[in-house]
Each structure stands twice: as C-alpha cells, then as structure tokens.
Amino acid sequence: MKKLQCSMIWCLLSVLLCISLTGCSSHDFYQYLKQSEESQQVAKNPSQQEAEKPEIQEKVLEPPKQISMEKYAYQQLGQIEKVIYDEMLSAILDQEEAVPLSTTDADVMQKAYKAVCSDYGGLFWVDGYVFTRYTRGEELVSLEFSPKYTMTKEERREVQAQIDSIVEAWLTGISINDTDYDKAKYVYELLALNTTYVENAEDSQNIISVFLRQETVCQGYACAVQYLLGQLGIKSAIVSGRARGESHAWNLICLDGEYYYMDATWGNNGYRDKEGNETFFIDYNYMAMTTGEMQISHEPDAELRLPECTAVLNNYYIKEGNYIEEWQPELIGGKLAAAWQQQQAITLRFSDDSLKEQAFQYFIEEGNIADYCSGIRQINYIEDSLWKEISFCFNEEE
C-alpha cells in the first residue's frame, strides 16, 4: 500500500479557532445589553433624569400594539411585564421620543426591554434607552421611557430598504415551504460564508454590520440569525451570556416544534497546514445543539428563562448521515470518497470513543483511506475528542 503522509493540523482545532475568533469584548456586547442598568444610574442623578411634577394629569392612553404573542421571550414574561414590553416596542417601532410606562418599577422596565431585544434582532435604529423618574415630593409617581435612536426616521427607511434588498438576494436559495432543518442549515451556512468576524466592526451590535458590511461580532450574528429565521417563519430568540470566559450571544431556535441552540458566530472554522496556508470550512457542531452540548462552552445569563433542549432529530450529523454508530468501513469510506472528489472538508461524529479510535487507526494510521480516495498523498485531519469527531480536510494539493 502506498505510504501516506499524515499531518495533524496544528493551529486551528475546532475549539481553538472559536476562542480566537468569537470572543466579544466587554466594551461592546456587555455594554450593549446592560444599557438599561447604566441608564438607571444616570436616572438617579436629580439634575439630569429626575423631575418633579406637582400635578400629574391623568389621561387615557391607547393600548399598545400586541404583535409579539408568539415571540419566545415575550411568552416568558409576567402580565405587567408584557404590558411594559408592548409599550416599549410600540414606542420603538413608531420611533417616539418618549412614552410613559404603566409601571414605576425600574427592574420590570429593564426586564421587559431585554426581552424586546431578545425577540427582535432587527431593531437597528435604537441603541438602548434612558428613562425619567417623575416624583411628587418623595413619592415616585411615574417612569418615562426614551429610546436612544441612532438615526432619523428617513435614514431608518433608507437603511431598511438596503437591508431588504440584501436579505431578499440572500434568501433566494431557500423557500418558506422548505423544512425547518433546511431553513436553519441555510441561514447557518449563509452567515458562515458571507460574514467575517471583526472585533471592532462598525455597527457590530446590530444587523447593519451583517447585511451592509459583512463584518460583525457575536451580537450581530445573533441578531441576523433571529432576523433571517423570522423571514422564514422560524421562531427564535437571542440568548446572552458567556462563552469560554467572554461575553457572548447566540440563539435559541425552534425546529419542528422542538428547541435547539445555534451559535452562528462559531460556524466559520478553519485550519492551517504545515506550510501555514489557511483553509476555512463550516463547523456544524454549533448549528443545532442540545442544552448539554451548549453548556460545554456556553453559559447563559439568568435574564431569560430557557427550555431544556434534548431533541436531536435536527442535529446536523444525524440528519446528514455523518453520525457513526457502528463499524462499517465501506460506508465511512464512501463518505470520504465523496468529500475527496469534491475537495470538501467532512466531519464524522462517532457515538463512542472506541468507534472513533477504530476509524482513526484504520483510515489514518494504517492509511486505508487511500483505498477510497484515489491519488491522495497527504491526510490533513482534525481529531476532536470532546465531540468524538474526526474532520478530514481535503484541501487542494499543489
């Protein structure tokens, strides 16, 4: 048998690349989500945000729009929190300068606002809020909510038109009638192939960075996932927390009535060969995770009550037939041959460590991959013990 050169790819194991590419700095992501807490501190300064109204005029207000009944974060709120959510969302959508809220509890206001941000990834024209406390003597009698807009209504319309045009073009390859799995996979791949992680990207906290600049950070990815899946009729929410010690954002998505976690930021992976040449491929580990898989590297904060995700039917490896549960060398070899012919990377996930080691020994150490991949001279691979995976990286050889 022809002797093959095997090389473990050194620099960019699946986990390591995620660390280097996906950390959101505390300056951008954490500051964005904690906007309301910062505003509360400002609001405690009487010279800036507190005002005394000796006479509070009662007036009848129109009930806020209720357009979020099916949104995930909205459904997790209590009744009064839902009312405040509706009032805030209506103000933002209508781009009102300030609206009175039906609560004097700043914590309720903050929780409702974060739920709005979780449900609506497309609010690119607003960046947090400030609020005013109105008092009568020592008594707090009302709160006024003022969104912080980043553009005028006309500018918003122009940007929205640009986004609509890009999104329409991006979604030409998928239909509302396709399966939920196909929609999720399409969006995951779309963002991996068309967007680059850039730590200091402009407008990185909203979808402008994704659709108009194709450069963003985790918050932009999460907002874009929620926005795109919404166009395709898939319910999803933005989840905030930490990943590998850094502030991070990802998504909770609903496929065929079951919940999964998706982290599109970590979908774009890659490796360097021994000459230092870099090749990128899509890492599907983070496309449809269970709670247990998500918790390997992600820690959600306590702001949003999350479901226990145990479904696996829409897991990429199971769905694509790349989850190996028994030793069938001809079947595995056929998958490697197809990937070799197309010069594509392929990742196989195994049900247990012993099965993975058997495949590693047979195809890599003993070189039997040559029986299926005609003309192969070198095996570039990534072995991932955490996920029980072997990735075969069939990049073009010179």
* Residues 340 and 372 sit within 8 Å (Cβ to Cβ): yes
pTM of the model: 0.84
Which pLDDT does position 11 carry in this prediction?
Answer: 38
Distance between CA atoms of residues 379 and 372, nearest Å: 13
Q: What is the mean pLDDT of residues 160-174?
A: 98
* Residues 266 and 286 sit within 8 Å (Cβ to Cβ): yes
Residues 6+ apart with CB under 8 A from 383: 8, 360, 389, 390, 391
pLDDT tens for 322-336 read: 999 999 999 999 999
Residues 6+ apart with CB under 8 A from 313: 256, 258, 319
Which pLDDT does position 394 carry in this prediction?
Answer: 86
Which pLDDT does position 54 carry in this prediction?
Answer: 39
pLDDT tens for 52-90 read: 443 444 444 556 667 889 999 999 999 999 999 999 999
C-alpha pair distances (Å), 242 with each of 58, 114, 201, 204, 377: 44, 16, 20, 17, 42
Please give the residue that has the higher pLDDT: either 235 or 27: 235
Q: What is the mean pLDDT of residues 221-243?
A: 97
Q: Give the number of residues written for the chain.
A: 398
Token reading at 159 = 């940007």
Strands (E), 9-163: 50-52, 99-100, 126-136, 139-149
Torsion of CA 185, 187, 191, 194, to 10 degrees: 100
DSSP-derived 3-state class of residue 230: helix
pLDDT tens for 258-303 read: 999 999 999 987 656 566 666 677 999 999 999 999 999 999 998 8
How many secondary structure helices (H) and strands (E) does the chain include?
14, 17
pLDDT tens for 183-202 read: 999 999 999 999 999 999 99
pLDDT at 161 over 90: yes
Q: Is the dihedral of CA 83, 88, 93, 94 positive or negative?
A: positive
Distance between CA atoms of residues 394 and 376, nearest Å: 9
Which pLDDT does position 57 carry in this prediction?
Answer: 44
Which pLDDT does position 214 carry in this prediction?
Answer: 96
